[in-house]
Amino acid sequence: MEIILILMFISMNWGRFDMLGDEQIKFVSVTDGYLLSFIKDAKERIIIAKPAYKQEEVKTILNIVKNKDVKCRLYLESGEESIRKGLGDVESLNLILKNYDILKVQLIDKIRIGIIIVDNNCLIYTTNISLLEENYIEEMVPNGLLGNSAITKQIDVELFNNEKQLLINREMISREKLFSSLNSELGRDRYINIQQNIGKTIKNLSFNPPIGLNRLRKVNYYRSNYKIVKIQSIGIKIKNKKISLRPFTLMLDNRDEREARSWNIFSAEDLKKLGDTKLFYSELKKIIEHYLLDAGRFGYIVNTYKKQEFDKEIKELKNEFVEFIKGENRENKNNRFYKLIQFGSSKTEDNLQSILDNSRELLIEYLLKVSENDRKLLTEIYKKDRLLLLDSNQNGLSEEEARRLFIKRYIVTTLKFPTPKDIIDRIDVKVDYFDISDELINDNIDFKKVIYKYNIHHIKQLEIIETSEIRKVE
């Protein structure tokens, strides 16, 4: 976005630049070394606006200002956020605080791009280079623009007001909006109490030090390329589904402690008809082994480039399993569960609905048996179900018929006997993703072993990982 704004500025003012000299702009790859080299060429003035500085940069600027009689003005962000992002260091703030008069320091709320004016040349670049290695930046797409005197003059006037404001073409509305935006980002009128502000920032950073740049680079890489994954299967283990019978047995006068306290929704035979749910976990394991790295107690690790495909596979697995449990589309040749299960001995009506209906009828018969001749239950029935009492009086229902009708309703309304929808709606594979924390990457020995085990530390951007650090986790 910052480079787009800069290019807009250049394109809208191209006709006003001096076309007789050398080329107006040049794309460059800006590294720490390039910045220092550019600053060292100063003979008359240095104006820099960027979020934060490094100690070496400030030392170089001070050396030039003191020894070459070069005028200087520095803009930097107030607060500690830019330091914590790795865009600068605390040592630079100490130098700036001691020399703020010489450096003509001004504090800004936010600075989105880096702008450096050295004499009659300017450098404009993105400010996140600290998170990348020098040799990596040199090979990537250029991240900065080097401009000559014409562009420098425009930047000087529009952003720093060193000369009388140039006439503005009123038809260029977008140009005015552009510089209104940039000027608001620079916020030139908001700096006060520079020494106190910088001193407070240094104090805060000393109490709660920022993450070191090498550590930050590692965190930035892993967070961009890997995620911690936690997987939880919900409602898959159908054999565990039970309902409590206690509310019903409490209404009985002749309770037998030996009677069942709960009811298994599915019998062993039912589970055979539905298929062994071990198949689901077997298929889930195949997907996990293909896409994820087993990180032990930390869960799993997924490469962010594989995340979308992994999510798709999990969704398809769940949908096929639901279809399989419901007994739908048995001719679907793409459903892996129908391929794995032989249905030759199963009747076509053995689907989830019919199995639940059968289980519910068996439960009704069981509760009729344990409540037979129980006078207390009959009293409770007519207390709890007035409509049943009225129906019994009008239609002359027998006691057994009244008990059967009551139990049939009671199973659904109070004991919450499940419907196919209840069971299917609970079937889910919950996948949660988490960023890899700084503590895991840099301080946790067990997690370092995981990184070393899967060889995911051998990447160009992380040449900063020392050999000794790897040996420590072996």
Among candidates 470, 426, 428, 472, which has minimal Cα distance to 451? 470
d(CA 216, CA 210): 9
With respect to residue 44, please indicate whether it lies within any of the assigned structural domains. Answer: yes
Which amino acid would we find at residue 70? V
With respect to residue 18, please indicate whether it lies within any of the assigned structural domains. Answer: yes
Contact 111, 186 (CB under 8 A): yes
With respect to residue 174, please indicate whether it lies within any of the assigned structural domains. Answer: yes
Beta bridge partners of 228: 301, 434
With respect to residue 23, please indicate whether it lies within any of the assigned structural domains. Answer: yes
Note whether 200 and 153 are same-domain residues.
Answer: yes
Note whether 238 and 160 are same-domain residues.
Answer: no
Measured in whole angstroms, the distance separating CA 191 from the mean position of its chain's CA atoms is: 35
With respect to residue 394, please indicate whether it lies within any of the assigned structural domains. Answer: yes
Domain interval for residue 362: 228-426
d(CA 411, CA 417): 6
Q: Which of 384, 400, 426 is the last residue of a domain?
A: 426
pLDDT at 334: 81
Note whether 401 and 293 are same-domain residues.
Answer: yes
Q: Which of 403, 426, 449 is the last residue of a domain?
A: 426
With respect to residue 464, please indicate whether it lies within any of the assigned structural domains. Answer: no
Geometric angle at alpha carbon 282, from 278 and 286, rounded to 5°: 170
Note whether 129 and 168 are same-domain residues.
Answer: yes
Note whether 232 and 136 are same-domain residues.
Answer: no
Extract the tokens encoding 190.
Answer: 């908001």
Q: What is the dihedral of CA 84, 85, 91, 96, to 10 degrees?
A: -100
Note whether 196 and 236 are same-domain residues.
Answer: no
pLDDT at 21: 47
Note whether 172 and 306 are same-domain residues.
Answer: no
Among candidates 369, 362, 93, which has minimal Cα distance to 210? 93
With respect to residue 361, please indicate whether it lies within any of the assigned structural domains. Answer: yes
Whole-structure pTM value: 0.57
d(CA 357, CA 237): 19
Which H, E and C letters describe the chain, residue by residue?
CHHHHHHHHHHHCHHHCCCCCCCCEEEECCCHHHHHHHHHCCCCEEEEECCCCCHHHHHHHHHHHHHHCCEEEEEEECCCHHHHCCCCCHHHHHHHHHCHHHHCEEEECCCCCEEEEECCEEEEECCCHHHCCHHHHHHCCCCEEEECHHHHHHHHHHHHCCCCCCCCCCCCHHHHHHHHHHHHHHCHHHCCCHHHHHHHHHHHHHHCCCCCHHHHHHHHHHHHHEEEEEEEEECCCHHHCEEECHHHHCCCCCCCCCCCCEEECCCHHHHHHHCCCHHHHHHHHHHHHHHEEECHHHCEEEEHHHHHHHHHHHHHHHHHHHHHHHCCCCCCCCCHHHHHCCCCCCCCCCCHHHHHHHHHHHHHHHHHHHCCCCHHHHHHHHHHCHHHHHHHHHHCCCHHHHHHHHHHHHHHHCCCCCCHHHHHHHCEEEEEEECCCHHHHHCCHHHHHHHHHCCCCCCHHHCCCCHHHHHHCC
Extract the tokens encoding 393.
Answer: 């009086």
d(CA 370, CA 363): 11
d(CA 457, CA 469): 11
Note whether 176 and 274 are same-domain residues.
Answer: no
Note whether 204 and 242 are same-domain residues.
Answer: no
Extract the tokens encoding 276.
Answer: 């062994």
d(CA 437, CA 15): 50
Note whether 236 and 349 are same-domain residues.
Answer: yes
With respect to residue 474, please indicate whether it lies within any of the assigned structural domains. Answer: no
Show the low-confidence residues of the chain (pLDDT under 50): 1-7, 14, 17-22, 132-138, 163-191, 343-349, 458-474
Note whether 341 and 414 are same-domain residues.
Answer: yes
% of residues, the chain, pLDDT over 90:
23
Q: Which of 426, 443, 460 is the last residue of a domain?
A: 426
Note whether 155 and 247 are same-domain residues.
Answer: no
* Number of domains observed in the structure of the chain: 2
d(CA 84, CA 208): 10
CATH number at residue 190: 3.30.870.10
Contact 350, 272 (CB under 8 A): no
Extract the tokens encoding 215.
Answer: 């550590």
Extract the tokens encoding 174.
Answer: 């977008």
pLDDT at 189: 40
